[in-house]
Chain A
Protein backbone atom coordinates (compact mmCIF):
# COMPACT_ATOMS: atom_id res chain seq x y z
CA UNK A 1 0.00 0.00 0.00
CA UNK A 2 1.50 3.28 -1.04
CA UNK A 3 -0.19 6.47 0.05
CA UNK A 4 0.81 10.08 -0.40
CA UNK A 5 2.07 11.42 2.94
CA UNK A 6 -1.00 13.57 3.61
CA UNK A 7 -3.28 10.56 3.25
CA UNK A 8 -1.15 8.87 5.89
CA UNK A 9 -1.78 11.86 8.13
CA UNK A 10 -5.54 11.47 7.60
CA UNK A 11 -5.34 7.76 8.26
CA UNK A 12 -3.24 8.32 11.39
CA UNK A 13 -5.97 10.66 12.67
CA UNK A 14 -8.87 8.33 11.86
CA UNK A 15 -11.10 7.87 14.91
CA UNK A 16 -11.70 4.24 13.91
CA UNK A 17 -8.04 3.39 14.40
CA UNK A 18 -7.17 1.43 17.55
CA UNK A 19 -6.28 3.79 20.39
CA UNK A 20 -3.95 3.35 23.35
CA UNK A 21 -6.58 1.61 25.48
CA UNK A 22 -7.27 -0.90 22.68
CA UNK A 23 -3.60 -1.87 22.63
CA UNK A 24 -3.44 -2.08 26.40
CA UNK A 25 -6.55 -4.26 26.56
CA UNK A 26 -5.43 -6.69 23.87
CA UNK A 27 -1.69 -6.99 24.46
CA UNK A 28 -1.45 -7.03 28.26
CA UNK A 29 -3.22 -8.92 31.03
CA UNK A 30 -4.68 -7.54 34.23
CA UNK A 31 -4.16 -3.83 33.56
CA UNK A 32 -4.65 -1.71 36.65
CA UNK A 33 -4.95 1.99 35.96
CA UNK A 34 -3.27 4.50 38.26
CA UNK A 35 -4.42 8.09 38.23
CA UNK A 36 -3.02 11.51 38.92
CA UNK A 37 0.25 13.41 38.92
CA UNK A 38 0.21 14.00 42.73
CA UNK A 39 0.61 17.70 42.03
CA UNK A 40 -2.48 19.13 40.46
CA UNK A 41 -4.89 16.77 38.70
CA UNK A 42 -5.52 13.62 36.74
CA UNK A 43 -5.15 14.17 33.01
CA UNK A 44 -7.59 12.00 31.07
CA UNK A 45 -5.52 12.28 27.91
CA UNK A 46 -2.85 10.08 29.47
CA UNK A 47 -3.65 6.61 30.76
CA UNK A 48 -1.12 4.67 32.81
CA UNK A 49 -0.72 1.79 35.18
CA UNK A 50 0.74 -1.67 35.58
CA UNK A 51 -0.11 -4.91 33.79
CA UNK A 52 1.42 -8.25 32.88
CA UNK A 53 3.17 -8.95 29.63
CA UNK A 54 3.95 -12.64 29.09
CA UNK A 55 3.50 -13.09 32.83
CA UNK A 56 5.90 -10.34 33.95
CA UNK A 57 4.84 -7.00 35.41
CA UNK A 58 5.38 -3.94 33.21
CA UNK A 59 4.38 -0.29 33.40
CA UNK A 60 2.18 0.80 30.51
CA UNK A 61 1.46 4.41 29.57
CA UNK A 62 -0.66 5.61 26.65
CA UNK A 63 -1.86 8.87 25.24
CA UNK A 64 -5.53 8.11 24.66
CA UNK A 65 -7.67 9.85 22.04
CA UNK A 66 -10.92 7.92 22.41
CA UNK A 67 -13.23 6.79 19.58
CA UNK A 68 -16.67 8.35 20.01
CA UNK A 69 -17.32 12.09 20.19
CA UNK A 70 -18.00 11.76 23.90
CA UNK A 71 -14.84 9.79 24.55
CA UNK A 72 -12.76 12.15 22.48
CA UNK A 73 -14.02 15.17 24.40
CA UNK A 74 -13.29 13.37 27.70
CA UNK A 75 -9.76 12.56 26.52
CA UNK A 76 -9.24 16.10 25.21
CA UNK A 77 -8.59 14.50 21.80
CA UNK A 78 -5.33 13.08 23.08
CA UNK A 79 -3.84 16.50 23.79
CA UNK A 80 -2.19 16.24 27.19
CA UNK A 81 -1.76 19.00 29.74
CA UNK A 82 1.38 19.25 31.89
CA UNK A 83 -0.34 16.93 34.38
CA UNK A 84 -0.38 14.17 31.77
CA UNK A 85 3.38 14.35 31.31
CA UNK A 86 3.92 14.56 35.05
CA UNK A 87 1.68 11.54 35.66
CA UNK A 88 3.63 9.63 33.02
CA UNK A 89 6.94 10.58 34.65
CA UNK A 90 5.66 9.58 38.08
CA UNK A 91 4.73 6.15 36.77
CA UNK A 92 8.03 5.79 34.94
CA UNK A 93 9.98 6.62 38.10
CA UNK A 94 7.85 4.07 39.94
CA UNK A 95 8.66 1.49 37.26
CA UNK A 96 12.35 2.25 37.65
CA UNK A 97 12.14 1.79 41.41
CA UNK A 98 10.59 -1.65 41.05
CA UNK A 99 12.60 -2.72 38.02
CA UNK A 100 9.67 -2.88 35.62
CA UNK A 101 10.11 -2.30 31.89
CA UNK A 102 8.08 0.60 30.46
CA UNK A 103 5.97 0.55 27.32
CA UNK A 104 4.46 3.78 25.97
CA UNK A 105 1.81 4.10 23.27
CA UNK A 106 1.96 7.52 21.65
CA UNK A 107 -0.91 9.08 19.75
CA UNK A 108 -1.30 12.85 19.90
CA UNK A 109 -1.57 15.81 17.59
CA UNK A 110 0.57 17.59 20.17
CA UNK A 111 0.66 18.76 23.77
CA UNK A 112 -2.37 20.93 24.50
CA UNK A 113 -2.09 24.61 23.58
CA UNK A 114 -4.10 26.33 26.29
CA UNK A 115 -3.95 28.99 28.97
CA UNK A 116 -3.91 26.56 31.90
CA UNK A 117 -1.35 24.37 30.16
CA UNK A 118 0.99 27.37 29.82
CA UNK A 119 0.32 28.58 33.36
CA UNK A 120 1.26 25.18 34.73
CA UNK A 121 4.41 24.83 32.64
CA UNK A 122 3.74 22.73 29.56
CA UNK A 123 7.28 23.35 28.33
CA UNK A 124 8.82 22.54 31.71
CA UNK A 125 6.81 19.32 32.02
CA UNK A 126 7.97 18.02 28.64
CA UNK A 127 11.55 19.16 29.26
CA UNK A 128 11.65 17.28 32.53
CA UNK A 129 10.40 14.10 30.86
CA UNK A 130 13.08 14.33 28.16
CA UNK A 131 15.76 14.77 30.78
CA UNK A 132 14.57 12.11 33.19
CA UNK A 133 13.71 9.50 30.56
CA UNK A 134 17.25 9.72 29.22
CA UNK A 135 18.62 8.04 32.35
CA UNK A 136 15.87 5.62 33.39
CA UNK A 137 17.64 2.37 34.19
CA UNK A 138 14.86 0.06 32.99
CA UNK A 139 14.03 -0.80 29.35
CA UNK A 140 11.72 1.71 27.67
CA UNK A 141 9.91 1.02 24.39
CA UNK A 142 7.63 3.56 22.73
CA UNK A 143 5.23 2.74 19.92
CA UNK A 144 3.76 5.52 17.81
CA UNK A 145 0.33 4.19 16.92
CA UNK A 146 -1.24 7.20 15.21
CA UNK A 147 -0.09 10.79 15.35
CA UNK A 148 3.32 11.62 16.73
CA UNK A 149 2.87 15.34 17.20
CA UNK A 150 6.13 17.10 18.06
CA UNK A 151 7.27 17.67 21.65
CA UNK A 152 3.99 16.30 22.94
CA UNK A 153 4.87 12.91 21.45
CA UNK A 154 8.59 13.07 22.24
CA UNK A 155 7.70 13.61 25.91
CA UNK A 156 6.86 9.87 26.00
CA UNK A 157 9.43 8.69 23.48
CA UNK A 158 12.97 9.16 24.79
CA UNK A 159 13.27 5.41 24.71
CA UNK A 160 15.61 2.51 23.92
CA UNK A 161 13.41 1.50 21.01
CA UNK A 162 10.89 3.57 19.11
CA UNK A 163 8.56 1.74 16.75
CA UNK A 164 5.92 3.12 14.43
CA UNK A 165 2.80 1.63 12.93
CA UNK A 166 3.00 1.52 9.15
CA UNK A 167 0.59 4.45 8.78
CA UNK A 168 1.52 6.42 11.86
CA UNK A 169 3.20 9.79 11.37
CA UNK A 170 5.90 11.55 13.42
CA UNK A 171 6.59 15.21 12.85
CA UNK A 172 8.12 18.34 14.33
CA UNK A 173 5.01 20.32 13.35
CA UNK A 174 1.59 19.47 11.90
CA UNK A 175 1.42 19.81 8.11
CA UNK A 176 -1.29 22.44 8.60
CA UNK A 177 0.92 24.42 10.98
CA UNK A 178 3.87 24.18 8.63
CA UNK A 179 1.78 25.32 5.66
CA UNK A 180 0.35 28.26 7.53
CA UNK A 181 3.83 29.41 8.58
CA UNK A 182 5.44 28.95 5.18
CA UNK A 183 2.63 30.00 2.88
CA UNK A 184 0.07 31.54 5.27
CA UNK A 185 -2.28 28.90 3.92
CA UNK A 186 -3.21 25.81 5.95
CA UNK A 187 -4.87 24.27 2.89
CA UNK A 188 -1.43 23.58 1.46
CA UNK A 189 -0.98 20.94 4.15
CA UNK A 190 -0.69 18.27 1.51
CA UNK A 191 2.50 19.83 0.14
CA UNK A 192 3.86 20.41 3.64
CA UNK A 193 3.20 16.79 4.62
CA UNK A 194 5.35 15.59 1.74
CA UNK A 195 8.20 17.94 2.62
CA UNK A 196 8.26 17.25 6.34
CA UNK A 197 9.23 13.58 5.81
CA UNK A 198 6.85 12.41 8.47
CA UNK A 199 6.01 8.83 7.43
CA UNK A 200 7.27 5.71 9.18
CA UNK A 201 9.62 4.95 6.27
CA UNK A 202 11.06 8.48 6.49
CA UNK A 203 11.55 8.20 10.24
CA UNK A 204 13.31 4.87 9.79
CA UNK A 205 15.63 6.15 7.10
CA UNK A 206 16.47 9.20 9.26
CA UNK A 207 17.46 6.82 12.07
CA UNK A 208 14.73 8.09 14.38
CA UNK A 209 12.93 4.74 14.77
CA UNK A 210 14.04 1.11 14.76
CA UNK A 211 11.02 -0.74 13.44
CA UNK A 212 7.90 -0.31 11.32
CA UNK A 213 4.95 -2.41 12.44
CA UNK A 214 2.73 -3.83 9.72
CA UNK A 215 -0.95 -2.90 9.86
CA UNK A 216 -2.16 -6.17 8.35
CA UNK A 217 -5.21 -7.34 10.31
CA UNK A 218 -5.17 -4.08 12.27
CA UNK A 219 -7.43 -4.32 15.29
CA UNK A 220 -7.66 -8.13 15.05
CA UNK A 221 -6.30 -10.74 17.41
CA UNK A 222 -3.37 -11.60 15.12
CA UNK A 223 -2.31 -7.96 14.95
CA UNK A 224 -2.05 -7.54 18.70
CA UNK A 225 -0.50 -11.00 19.03
CA UNK A 226 2.32 -9.98 16.70
CA UNK A 227 3.06 -6.84 18.68
CA UNK A 228 2.98 -8.74 21.97
CA UNK A 229 5.53 -11.26 20.66
CA UNK A 230 7.82 -8.48 19.45
CA UNK A 231 7.57 -6.64 22.77
CA UNK A 232 8.38 -9.75 24.80
CA UNK A 233 11.41 -10.50 22.60
CA UNK A 234 12.72 -6.95 22.68
CA UNK A 235 12.25 -6.51 26.43
CA UNK A 236 14.07 -9.79 26.98
CA UNK A 237 16.98 -8.50 24.99
CA UNK A 238 17.05 -5.02 26.56
CA UNK A 239 16.79 -6.46 30.08
CA UNK A 240 20.11 -8.24 29.56
CA UNK A 241 21.87 -5.11 28.40
CA UNK A 242 24.24 -3.83 31.06
CA UNK A 243 24.76 -0.51 29.29
CA UNK A 244 21.15 0.41 28.66
CA UNK A 245 21.47 4.07 29.69
CA UNK A 246 24.73 4.55 27.80
CA UNK A 247 23.23 3.13 24.64
CA UNK A 248 20.10 5.22 25.00
CA UNK A 249 22.33 8.30 25.19
CA UNK A 250 24.15 7.26 22.03
CA UNK A 251 20.87 6.49 20.29
CA UNK A 252 19.85 10.15 20.48
CA UNK A 253 23.37 11.55 20.49
CA UNK A 254 24.07 10.53 16.92
CA UNK A 255 20.80 11.86 15.44
CA UNK A 256 21.56 14.88 13.33
CA UNK A 257 25.28 14.81 14.16
CA UNK A 258 26.17 13.57 10.69
CA UNK A 259 24.11 16.07 8.73
CA UNK A 260 26.02 19.05 10.03
CA UNK A 261 28.35 20.55 7.45
CA UNK A 262 31.84 20.64 8.81
CA UNK A 263 34.32 22.63 6.84
Chain B
Protein backbone atom coordinates (compact mmCIF):
# COMPACT_ATOMS: atom_id res chain seq x y z
CA UNK B 1 0.00 0.00 0.00
CA UNK B 2 1.53 3.22 -1.15
CA UNK B 3 0.40 5.33 1.75
CA UNK B 4 2.27 3.27 4.29
CA UNK B 5 5.72 3.78 2.99
CA UNK B 6 8.12 2.14 5.38
CA UNK B 7 11.04 2.62 3.02
CA UNK B 8 13.66 5.00 4.19
CA UNK B 9 12.79 8.38 2.78
CA UNK B 10 15.52 10.31 1.09
CA UNK B 11 16.55 13.09 3.36
CA UNK B 12 15.71 15.99 1.12
CA UNK B 13 16.32 18.56 3.82
CA UNK B 14 19.93 17.44 4.11
CA UNK B 15 20.43 17.76 0.37
CA UNK B 16 19.15 21.26 0.21
CA UNK B 17 15.54 20.50 -0.49
CA UNK B 18 13.44 19.36 -3.38
CA UNK B 19 13.22 21.38 -6.51
CA UNK B 20 10.37 23.70 -5.81
CA UNK B 21 7.71 24.65 -8.28
CA UNK B 22 7.84 28.31 -9.24
CA UNK B 23 5.99 30.35 -6.72
CA UNK B 24 3.45 32.70 -8.17
CA UNK B 25 3.99 36.11 -6.71
CA UNK B 26 1.09 38.27 -5.79
CA UNK B 27 2.30 41.74 -4.92
CA UNK B 28 1.45 42.75 -1.40
CA UNK B 29 0.47 39.34 -0.13
CA UNK B 30 2.03 38.43 3.24
CA UNK B 31 4.87 35.96 2.99
CA UNK B 32 6.88 33.75 5.28
CA UNK B 33 10.54 32.94 4.77
CA UNK B 34 11.31 29.25 4.68
CA UNK B 35 14.35 28.44 6.84
CA UNK B 36 15.21 25.52 4.57
CA UNK B 37 15.02 26.89 1.01
CA UNK B 38 15.20 30.57 2.06
CA UNK B 39 12.42 31.51 -0.35
CA UNK B 40 9.57 33.81 0.60
CA UNK B 41 6.38 31.81 0.37
CA UNK B 42 2.96 33.50 0.29
CA UNK B 43 1.07 32.63 3.45
CA UNK B 44 -2.06 31.62 1.55
CA UNK B 45 -0.06 29.07 -0.35
CA UNK B 46 1.48 27.74 2.87
CA UNK B 47 -1.93 27.42 4.47
CA UNK B 48 -3.32 25.61 1.47
CA UNK B 49 -0.47 23.17 1.89
CA UNK B 50 -0.87 22.53 5.68
CA UNK B 51 2.03 24.83 6.51
CA UNK B 52 4.45 22.81 4.42
CA UNK B 53 6.78 24.72 2.10
CA UNK B 54 6.95 23.53 -1.53
CA UNK B 55 10.54 22.48 -0.69
CA UNK B 56 9.18 20.01 1.88
CA UNK B 57 9.97 21.97 5.02
CA UNK B 58 7.32 21.44 7.70
CA UNK B 59 6.58 24.61 9.67
CA UNK B 60 5.50 24.29 13.29
CA UNK B 61 1.77 24.27 13.88
CA UNK B 62 -0.51 25.29 16.70
CA UNK B 63 -2.29 22.43 18.40
CA UNK B 64 -5.75 23.51 17.23
CA UNK B 65 -4.62 24.01 13.64
CA UNK B 66 -3.32 20.48 13.68
CA UNK B 67 -6.50 19.08 15.19
CA UNK B 68 -8.58 20.83 12.55
CA UNK B 69 -6.39 19.43 9.79
CA UNK B 70 -6.46 15.94 11.24
CA UNK B 71 -9.85 14.97 12.59
CA UNK B 72 -13.16 14.34 10.81
CA UNK B 73 -15.19 17.51 10.56
CA UNK B 74 -16.76 18.61 13.86
CA UNK B 75 -15.74 15.38 15.55
CA UNK B 76 -13.38 16.83 18.14
CA UNK B 77 -14.68 16.99 21.68
CA UNK B 78 -12.20 18.57 24.07
CA UNK B 79 -11.51 16.97 27.45
CA UNK B 80 -9.88 18.36 30.61
CA UNK B 81 -9.75 21.90 29.20
CA UNK B 82 -10.14 23.28 32.72
CA UNK B 83 -6.75 21.95 33.81
CA UNK B 84 -4.03 24.55 33.96
CA UNK B 85 -0.80 25.22 35.74
CA UNK B 86 -0.61 26.81 39.14
CA UNK B 87 2.66 28.06 40.53
CA UNK B 88 3.41 25.31 43.05
CA UNK B 89 6.98 26.42 43.80
CA UNK B 90 6.13 30.14 43.76
CA UNK B 91 8.79 30.43 41.09
CA UNK B 92 9.37 34.15 40.52
CA UNK B 93 8.12 35.35 37.16
CA UNK B 94 6.38 32.08 36.27
CA UNK B 95 2.83 33.27 36.86
CA UNK B 96 3.37 36.36 34.69
CA UNK B 97 5.05 34.33 31.99
CA UNK B 98 2.16 31.87 31.83
CA UNK B 99 -0.36 34.70 31.74
CA UNK B 100 1.45 36.35 28.85
CA UNK B 101 1.65 33.10 26.95
CA UNK B 102 -2.05 32.46 27.55
CA UNK B 103 -2.95 35.86 26.21
CA UNK B 104 -0.69 35.49 23.18
CA UNK B 105 -1.56 31.89 22.31
CA UNK B 106 -5.22 31.69 23.30
CA UNK B 107 -4.43 28.35 24.96
CA UNK B 108 -4.60 27.56 28.66
CA UNK B 109 -1.90 24.92 28.57
CA UNK B 110 0.72 23.30 26.34
CA UNK B 111 -1.43 20.31 25.39
CA UNK B 112 -4.96 19.95 24.01
CA UNK B 113 -6.71 16.65 24.75
CA UNK B 114 -9.98 15.19 23.60
CA UNK B 115 -12.03 12.65 21.72
CA UNK B 116 -11.98 12.58 17.97
CA UNK B 117 -12.82 10.60 14.90
CA UNK B 118 -10.13 10.08 12.31
CA UNK B 119 -11.37 8.38 9.16
CA UNK B 120 -14.57 7.57 11.10
CA UNK B 121 -12.53 5.75 13.77
CA UNK B 122 -12.93 6.83 17.39
CA UNK B 123 -9.83 7.66 19.35
CA UNK B 124 -8.41 9.76 22.15
CA UNK B 125 -6.16 12.50 20.85
CA UNK B 126 -3.59 14.75 22.45
CA UNK B 127 -1.73 17.44 20.59
CA UNK B 128 1.01 19.53 22.19
CA UNK B 129 1.47 23.18 21.29
CA UNK B 130 4.87 24.67 20.40
CA UNK B 131 3.54 28.18 20.97
CA UNK B 132 2.82 27.51 24.64
CA UNK B 133 6.19 27.63 26.41
CA UNK B 134 7.54 25.33 23.69
CA UNK B 135 5.27 22.51 24.77
CA UNK B 136 7.03 22.19 28.11
CA UNK B 137 5.57 19.65 30.53
CA UNK B 138 4.49 20.84 33.96
CA UNK B 139 1.92 19.35 36.31
CA UNK B 140 -1.07 20.32 34.18
CA UNK B 141 0.36 18.79 30.99
CA UNK B 142 1.28 15.61 32.85
CA UNK B 143 -2.13 15.47 34.49
CA UNK B 144 -4.04 15.99 31.25
CA UNK B 145 -2.09 13.33 29.38
CA UNK B 146 -2.44 10.88 32.30
CA UNK B 147 -6.19 11.53 32.49
CA UNK B 148 -6.46 10.93 28.75
CA UNK B 149 -4.73 7.54 28.92
CA UNK B 150 -6.93 6.58 31.89
CA UNK B 151 -10.04 7.70 29.99
CA UNK B 152 -8.91 5.73 26.92
CA UNK B 153 -8.42 2.65 29.08
CA UNK B 154 -11.90 2.87 30.61
CA UNK B 155 -13.49 3.31 27.18
CA UNK B 156 -11.20 0.86 25.35
CA UNK B 157 -9.91 3.48 22.93
CA UNK B 158 -6.64 3.98 21.12
CA UNK B 159 -4.57 7.08 21.90
CA UNK B 160 -2.97 9.19 19.21
CA UNK B 161 -0.48 11.76 20.46
CA UNK B 162 1.35 14.55 18.62
CA UNK B 163 4.39 15.57 20.64
CA UNK B 164 6.33 18.80 20.58
CA UNK B 165 8.28 19.81 23.64
CA UNK B 166 11.41 21.41 24.97
CA UNK B 167 11.11 18.99 27.90
CA UNK B 168 10.02 19.23 31.51
CA UNK B 169 8.96 22.71 32.64
CA UNK B 170 11.67 23.87 35.01
CA UNK B 171 9.50 26.44 36.80
CA UNK B 172 7.61 23.57 38.42
CA UNK B 173 10.82 21.82 39.43
CA UNK B 174 10.58 18.27 40.70
CA UNK B 175 6.84 18.19 40.11
CA UNK B 176 7.51 18.49 36.37
CA UNK B 177 10.10 15.72 36.55
CA UNK B 178 7.59 13.44 38.27
CA UNK B 179 5.14 13.91 35.39
CA UNK B 180 7.52 11.77 33.32
CA UNK B 181 6.98 8.88 35.73
CA UNK B 182 3.26 9.54 36.06
CA UNK B 183 2.54 9.64 32.32
CA UNK B 184 4.78 6.60 31.72
CA UNK B 185 2.88 4.58 34.30
CA UNK B 186 -0.41 5.55 32.64
CA UNK B 187 0.92 4.60 29.19
CA UNK B 188 2.00 1.25 30.62
CA UNK B 189 -1.44 0.48 32.07
CA UNK B 190 -3.10 1.44 28.79
CA UNK B 191 -0.61 -0.71 26.91
CA UNK B 192 -1.01 -3.69 29.25
CA UNK B 193 -4.73 -3.67 28.60
CA UNK B 194 -4.01 -4.34 24.94
CA UNK B 195 -4.79 -0.90 23.57
CA UNK B 196 -3.00 0.96 20.80
CA UNK B 197 -0.94 4.11 21.29
CA UNK B 198 0.40 5.94 18.24
CA UNK B 199 2.80 8.84 18.64
CA UNK B 200 3.72 11.37 15.98
CA UNK B 201 6.85 13.29 16.92
CA UNK B 202 6.97 16.82 15.58
CA UNK B 203 9.59 19.55 15.71
CA UNK B 204 11.06 19.67 18.34
CA UNK B 205 10.49 16.67 20.61
CA UNK B 206 13.21 16.69 23.25
CA UNK B 207 14.18 16.25 26.90
CA UNK B 208 11.72 14.82 29.39
CA UNK B 209 9.01 14.22 26.81
CA UNK B 210 11.35 12.17 24.61
CA UNK B 211 12.44 10.34 27.77
CA UNK B 212 8.86 9.46 28.60
CA UNK B 213 5.64 9.17 26.59
CA UNK B 214 7.03 10.20 23.18
CA UNK B 215 9.20 7.08 23.05
CA UNK B 216 6.67 4.72 24.63
CA UNK B 217 4.18 4.32 21.79
CA UNK B 218 3.49 1.04 20.00
CA UNK B 219 4.11 2.79 16.71
CA UNK B 220 6.23 5.94 16.59
CA UNK B 221 5.95 8.19 13.56
CA UNK B 222 7.67 11.52 12.97
CA UNK B 223 7.39 14.51 10.68
CA UNK B 224 10.18 15.09 8.15
CA UNK B 225 13.04 17.18 9.47
CA UNK B 226 11.77 17.26 13.07
CA UNK B 227 14.37 17.52 15.82
CA UNK B 228 14.00 14.45 18.04
CA UNK B 229 16.42 13.88 20.88
CA UNK B 230 17.09 13.83 24.58
CA UNK B 231 19.79 16.43 25.24
CA UNK B 232 19.97 19.80 23.52
CA UNK B 233 22.53 20.12 20.74
CA UNK B 234 24.35 23.01 22.39
CA UNK B 235 24.72 21.04 25.62
CA UNK B 236 26.11 18.07 23.69
CA UNK B 237 28.63 20.26 21.88
CA UNK B 238 29.73 21.81 25.16
CA UNK B 239 29.96 18.44 26.92
CA UNK B 240 31.80 16.56 24.19
CA UNK B 241 33.66 19.45 22.50
CA UNK B 242 32.97 17.70 19.21
CA UNK B 243 31.13 18.99 16.20
CA UNK B 244 27.91 17.15 15.63
CA UNK B 245 27.36 14.89 12.62
CA UNK B 246 25.28 16.19 9.74
CA UNK B 247 21.56 15.88 10.31
CA UNK B 248 22.13 15.01 13.99
CA UNK B 249 18.85 14.50 15.91
CA UNK B 250 16.72 15.06 12.81
CA UNK B 251 13.91 12.54 12.44
CA UNK B 252 15.71 11.00 9.44
CA UNK B 253 18.77 10.42 11.66
CA UNK B 254 16.64 8.93 14.45
CA UNK B 255 14.90 6.65 11.94
CA UNK B 256 18.26 5.50 10.65
CA UNK B 257 19.31 4.62 14.22
CA UNK B 258 16.22 2.56 14.77
CA UNK B 259 14.14 4.59 17.19
CA UNK B 260 11.11 5.49 15.07
CA UNK B 261 8.95 3.42 12.74
CA UNK B 262 8.41 5.81 9.85
CA UNK B 263 8.57 9.40 8.72
CA UNK B 264 5.26 10.65 7.42
CA UNK B 265 4.75 13.92 5.61
CA UNK B 266 1.90 16.03 6.94
CA UNK B 267 -0.18 15.53 3.83
CA UNK B 268 -0.27 11.76 4.42
CA UNK B 269 -0.75 11.69 8.17
CA UNK B 270 -4.53 11.55 8.36
CA UNK B 271 -4.81 8.69 5.88
CA UNK B 272 -2.06 6.75 7.57
CA UNK B 273 -3.44 7.21 11.09
CA UNK B 274 -6.93 6.23 9.95
CA UNK B 275 -5.54 3.13 8.27
CA UNK B 276 -3.53 2.19 11.36
CA UNK B 277 -6.61 2.57 13.56
CA UNK B 278 -8.57 0.37 11.15
CA UNK B 279 -5.88 -2.27 11.11
CA UNK B 280 -5.96 -2.53 14.88
CA UNK B 281 -9.66 -2.14 15.51
CA UNK B 282 -11.00 -3.89 12.48
CA UNK B 283 -12.99 -1.02 11.00
> CB within 8 Å of B: which residues of A?
111-115, 117-124, 126-128, 130-132, 134-135, 150-151, 154-155, 157-158, 170-173, 177-178, 181, 195-198, 202-203, 206, 208, 248-249, 252-253, 255-257, 259-263
Contacts and interface: CB of A to CB of B under 8 A. Distances in A.
Contacts of A150: 168, 177, 208
A259 B86 contact: yes
B245 A128 contact: no
B235 A113 contact: yes
17 contacts: A111-B211, A113-B230, A127-B211, A134-B181, A134-B188, A151-B168, A151-B230, A154-B177, A158-B181, A170-B177, A171-B173, A172-B172, A256-B138, A256-B172, A256-B182, A259-B88, A261-B84
A67 to B, nearest CB: 22
Contact of A151 (B143, B180, B258): B180
Given A118-B230, A121-B259, A261-B86, A197 B185 contact: no
B174 A151 contact: no
Contact of B239 (A113, A126, A178): A113
A262 B144 CA distance: 12
Contacts of A195: 89, 91-92
A259 B210 CA distance: 24
Contact of B178 (A134, A173, A256): A256
Given A123-B215, A130-B184, A154-B180, A114 B85 contact: no
A124 B259 contact: yes
Nearest to A114: B240
A196 B88 CA distance: 11
A202 B259 CA distance: 36
Interface of B: 82-86, 88-89, 91-92, 138-140, 142-143, 146, 168, 170, 172-182, 184-189, 191-192, 207-208, 210-216, 229-232, 235-236, 239-240, 242, 244-245, 248-249, 257-259
Contacts, number: 193
Q: Which of B84, B86, B181, B212 has the most CB of A within 10 A?
A: B181
B177 A262 contact: no
Contacts of B213: 127
Given A118-B248, A158-B184, A253-B146, A260 B85 contact: yes
The 8 A-B pairs with the shortest beta carbon distances in the complex, nearest first, are A256-B139, A123-B210, A113-B231, A130-B184, A134-B185, A123-B230, A259-B88, A127-B215
